[in-house]
Structure 1
Amino acid sequence: MASDTKSPITVEPHEKLQHADHVDRHESVVLANADVMNDAYAGENREHAEGMWASIKAHPWACFWSFIMCFTIVMESFDMFLNGNFVALLPFQRKYGVLVAEGKFAISTKWQSALFQSGQCGAFVGVFLAGPITNRLGYRWTTLVGLMLMNATIFVSFFANSLGLLVAGQALEGVPWGIFIANSPAYASEVVPIVLRGATTATLQMSWSIGGIIVAAVTYGFNKRNDQWAWRIPLALQWIFPTPLMILIFLAPESPWWLVRKGHKEKALRSLNRLGTKDPQHAHQSLAVIERTVEIEAQQGGAPTLLDLFKGVDLRRTTIICLMYASQNFAGNLIANQATFFFEQAGINHNRAFELNLINSCLGFVANAGSWWLTKWFGRRTIYLWGTAVNITFLVILGICASVKQNSGTNYAQAILGILISFVYAGAMGPISYTVIAETSSVRLRALSTGVGRAAYYVAEIPMIYLASKMLNTTGWNLAGKCGYVWGGTALVCWIGAYFGLPELKGRSYREIDILFNRGVSARKFKSTALDVKDNE
């Protein structure tokens, strides 16, 4: 469908297009089609001009479906935070711990690390399965397979009667986690207009916070129990998520980008209509934008393979994605994953530590909601650099508070700083990382690159979990708040890397992002580089 004849945008004759746009040398039917190209120009200009609130009102269903897909992350979040609370539950300590003082038990560092790491090891497998399966089945059906697998694997953890079996159950649960975390940011970024990509992908971090809130509330309610149900009931609550999500995702539209890549243009058009593009002309324009971008990328490479991620310009994009994912483990956020245990190690009494953990989780949710508006006002690069700089400061202060003579004041100072560090991460680096990850990858390789990037996260996280447990555990180094020095140093490395390597992608279409990477534009010049709507490379 052609654009309105009153549109000021016109397309040059086919001969000029071939001369001006090198990518047309392959006689692309799509790129040589004047009607499609005019629609693509009009559609991209319309998206650039659309405001955030206007876009939300025009595409409420796109926002809803992207949130539902992102909400699958709540299951990984729930279980990760649950493990962090298990090690602080007295009946769990008595059942599986070692005696460290008169009447006082603790889970040994070895098993504590294994509980945290096993799920991540399973997820490492899941993210590599997600890309090839998604390329074949699509985001919906791949996620549905993951949810069915999740329902089955919870049985192992719930009925585990030893730490070894519980660790095995966590590893099995990790496989579908990997599928969810690989697919969610990719799907969320593909079903919404440009202006909403930052806010919708940031809801991934909100799902983490929701999982943390539920766990904090449940474990706070059960921490006074003295039997096995203090941890078995929280484990059983994992079953509340998969089945409702399966029903909703079965009803969700498939990503129109995936459908176009598979040649299903009519289905892609129906998907666009379901996502909120009610105006027939706007729907055809959005479809043309997708066709054009997919065609440009298709001419740069054939069927996507894992090896493509490490070739040519895609190597740079893969590196950015991997480093952004890995950096999530180096800015002090691992303190939040073990918040209750951290508060206890900082000198806070047992019940108050659980109360502070609940407060910490709720504040994280507030920070996540605030990140939606941050993505509107500030660029991705700006948010990440300033957020990391603030946390570096807090982490160093935390280390100083733990190094002076300890009293009630220093104990609470460490606890408050731990909450502030988690708050900043939940409002800045956490959500913006998912946005950058979703936007950096090419459309053709997105399902694979988000999976490999998350694999880099697990490669970094597994040893960091062991380090975090070693630093906090009384059977380890028992550093308490002095771990701030370590995390402050690693966060500084992340800041330096981001300053030189993180490009600004706010407000860019996927076509524009492709062009900027293909031209080898410096990360610090992405924002200032001007592109024409007619550029194809």
Structure 2
Amino acid sequence: MSDNKDLESTAVQRDNMSEEHDAVYEEKAGVADYKADAIEAENAEHNMTVIEAVKEYPMASLWAFVFSCTIIMESYCVFLIGSFMALPAFYNRFGINCDANGEHCTVAAKWQSSLQVSGQLGALIGVMIAGPITSKIGYRWAFIGGLMLLNVFIFAFYFAESMPVIFASQILEGIPWGIFIANAPAYCSEIVPIQLRAPATQMLQMFWAIGSIIVGAVTYVYSDTPGKEAYKIPIALQWMFPTPLAILIFIAPESPWWLVRKGKFDKAAKSVERLGRKSKTNTTETVAMMRRVIEMEKSSHRPSHLELFKGTDLRRTLIVCGVYAAQNLTGNLIANQAVYFFKQAGIETELAFGLGLITSALQMIFVMLSWILTTYFGRRPIYLWGSAANTILLIALGVAGSVPNTTSAKLAQASLGLIVSVLFTLGPAPASWVIIGETSAIRLRPLTTGAGRAAYYIVEFPCIFLASYMLNPDQANLRGKCGYVWGATGFLCLVTAYYQLPEMKNRSYREIDILFKRKVPARKWTKTEVDINDDE
């Protein structure tokens, strides 16, 4: 009787071992199957041309365009506040040191600086909450929530009748801006194939320019209007954007990478179908490629801000933060305060607003040119050469500001200020968006882009106060000589980028992960090969 029981027990153990062996075999076979599909999808993306990628993923390009439109709102208000400093109706209403007729006032330097940073203070809050919120509810609902909040906060700005209330309203508006600016590059980089990552993310810079064009046109029209309509109507025009964009984003597909991170493979496949042409897109292979990368980055912990500063992710975080921060140190602030800069350089009000509008229009054109340059020549060379040219021009601006203040000197300063503002959008600025979208790990992307933008604002705050102090006639009144300061900081950023910024052109997210894990020096990325079968 005992022998029979032993025999039965042995048979059961053999059956269990057999089942376990079958399960392990099936799991290995399943991994092998999806890895094979992943390799096929990655090879297909590498072999695509830019034109083929556009034809195969037409809707991905469209949705990247829609989500990029949210950047208009931050751009619009940033440039609006800068233009208000040079708008007679605004500075006569809120300024000090007016003449006997109560005109030709000057907005106090402390309020110039405070209003310039107010929106960014709110945006700093927004970018820090964007990552955790997006990781939990997805890109679509994070954007929609931000747009609805913005609709409400615009009311505070419109009805503000004092500087403190304007300051507070800008902080409130800044919170949704932070959500948009943190998530837009991440979403755009995730929904397109390798060959379209550059133009898809660089659209963000184009919409930044579009926001400034709208502001330039509106303030130019109202530059001679004496009443409060001159600044109330431009404020009210902000309501043009949030609701239509919220409707479009509601019907947009979620990022398939986010869905794969959540284990929603069927929904990820449907999202891929909506982004590409069903007849050409192999959704199974594409989702398998995403699964492969997600498995490589898999962790037992939930994504957290603390992870951004550990291991190889620290290097990736520092690159994103550095590229973002450098935007404030290589000519961006002159672009944001273009109209005020032109006025302080000695240009008349109407011409200053006209030059501001021309600057914004040229910026949009140069951003589109940068799509071609960054797509075909890479991110690193465009960023480095653009930064070097900007540094030289900023020093030249300082020289122009150092000579006697003649008409020729004023025109030289205005011209160099315009060139710096425009050239910034051909090289460093648009290349930055591509680098930001590609550098972070997929798992930590919402958190990394948020932390990077936070670094941008943290650096921007003292820079704005410094810029306002340098340009304000009641303070340093440096005019074009501010070019020496920004030229020096720009040179430091250039040297740092040369040693730390890798080239990620034509690299899949799997290859980028592996190169970071191998700690390959930035200057050797283009010469380092990654085998298609490697998983690390």
TM-score, length-scaled by structure 1:
0.93
How many positions carry a matched residue from both structures?
511
| Residue correspondence of structure 1 range 284-363 to structure 2 within 5 A | 284-299=284-299, 302-363=301-362
**Closer, same or farther: CA 291–95 of 1 in aligned 2, 3 Å:** same
Deviation at 1:280, TM superposition (A): 6.9
**Closer, same or farther: CA 27–234 of 1 in aligned 2, 3 Å:** farther
Measure, in 1, the Cα distance between the counterparts of 2:418 and 2:42.
41
Paired position in structure 1 for 2:165: 165
**Closer, same or farther: CA 468–126 of 1 in aligned 2, 3 Å:** same
**Closer, same or farther: CA 28–170 of 1 in aligned 2, 3 Å:** farther
Contact 2:58/2:277 (8 A) holds in 1: no
Deviation at 1:343, TM superposition (A): 0.3
Measure, in 1, the Cα distance between the counterparts of 2:28 and 2:117.
48
In structure 1, list runs of 5 or more residues that go unmatched.
1-25
Segment drifting more, 355-364 vs 49-58: 49-58
Deviation at 1:302, TM superposition (A): 3.1
| Residue correspondence of structure 1 range 228-243 to structure 2 within 5 A | 228-243=228-243
Contact 2:259/2:268 (8 A) holds in 1: yes
Paired position in structure 1 for 2:500: 501
Q: Identity of aligned pairs, percent?
A: 51
**Closer, same or farther: CA 283–159 of 1 in aligned 2, 3 Å:** same
| Residue correspondence of structure 1 range 14-413 to structure 2 within 5 A | 29=27, 33-99=31-97, 103-279=103-279, 282-299=282-299, 302-413=301-412
- One-letter amino acid of the structure 1 residue matched with residue 43 of structure 2: N
Paired position in structure 2 for 1:451: 450
- One-letter amino acid of the structure 2 residue matched with residue 283 of structure 1: T
Over 2 Å off, 4+ runs: 26-32, 100-104
**Closer, same or farther: CA 343–46 of 1 in aligned 2, 3 Å:** same
In structure 2, list runs of 5 or more residues that go unmatched.
1-23
Paired position in structure 2 for 1:490: 489
Measure, in 2, the Cα distance between the counterparts of 1:184 and 1:456.
17
- One-letter amino acid of the structure 1 residue matched with residue 226 of structure 2: N
Kindly provide the CA deviation profile for residues 380-428 of structure 1, in whole angstroms up to 9, marking residues without a partner as x.
1101100000001110111101101121111111111111111111111
Kindly provide the CA deviation profile for residues 303-351 of structure 1, in whole angstroms up to 9, marking residues without a partner as x.
2111110111101110111111100100011011111110011111111
Contact 2:92/2:98 (8 A) holds in 1: no
Measure, in 2, the Cα distance between the counterparts of 1:83 and 1:434.
24
Paired position in structure 1 for 2:461: 462
Superposed CA RMSD in Å reads: 1.5
Measure, in 1, the Cα distance between the counterparts of 2:442 and 2:279.
25
**Closer, same or farther: CA 31–462 of 1 in aligned 2, 3 Å:** farther
- One-letter amino acid of the structure 1 residue matched with residue 532 of structure 2: V
- One-letter amino acid of the structure 1 residue matched with residue 84 of structure 2: F
Measure, in 1, the Cα distance between the counterparts of 2:242 and 2:175.
14
Measure, in 1, the Cα distance between the counterparts of 2:62 and 2:281.
23
Secondary structure class of the residue paired with 1:520 = coil
Deviation at 1:277, TM superposition (A): 4.2
- One-letter amino acid of the structure 1 residue matched with residue 444 of structure 2: L
**Closer, same or farther: CA 420–191 of 1 in aligned 2, 3 Å:** same
**Closer, same or farther: CA 28–412 of 1 in aligned 2, 3 Å:** farther
Secondary structure class of the residue paired with 1:507 = coil
Contact 1:321/1:436 (8 A) holds in 2: yes
Deviation at 1:28, TM superposition (A): 11
Contact 2:257/2:290 (8 A) holds in 1: yes
Contact 1:30/1:291 (8 A) holds in 2: no
Measure, in 1, the Cα distance between the counterparts of 2:289 and 2:325.
32
Paired position in structure 2 for 1:23: none
Segment drifting more, 255-264 vs 422-431: 422-431
Measure, in 1, the Cα distance between the counterparts of 2:46 and 2:411.
47
Secondary structure class of the residue paired with 2:347 = coil
Larger radius of gyration: 2
Deviation at 1:377, TM superposition (A): 1.8
Measure, in 2, the Cα distance between the counterparts of 1:430 and 1:29.
46
Paired position in structure 1 for 2:15: none
Deviation at 1:457, TM superposition (A): 0.4
Contact 1:30/1:36 (8 A) holds in 2: no
Measure, in 1, the Cα distance between the counterparts of 2:38 and 2:332.
41
Measure, in 1, the Cα distance between the counterparts of 2:351 and 2:278.
52
Contact 1:31/1:292 (8 A) holds in 2: no
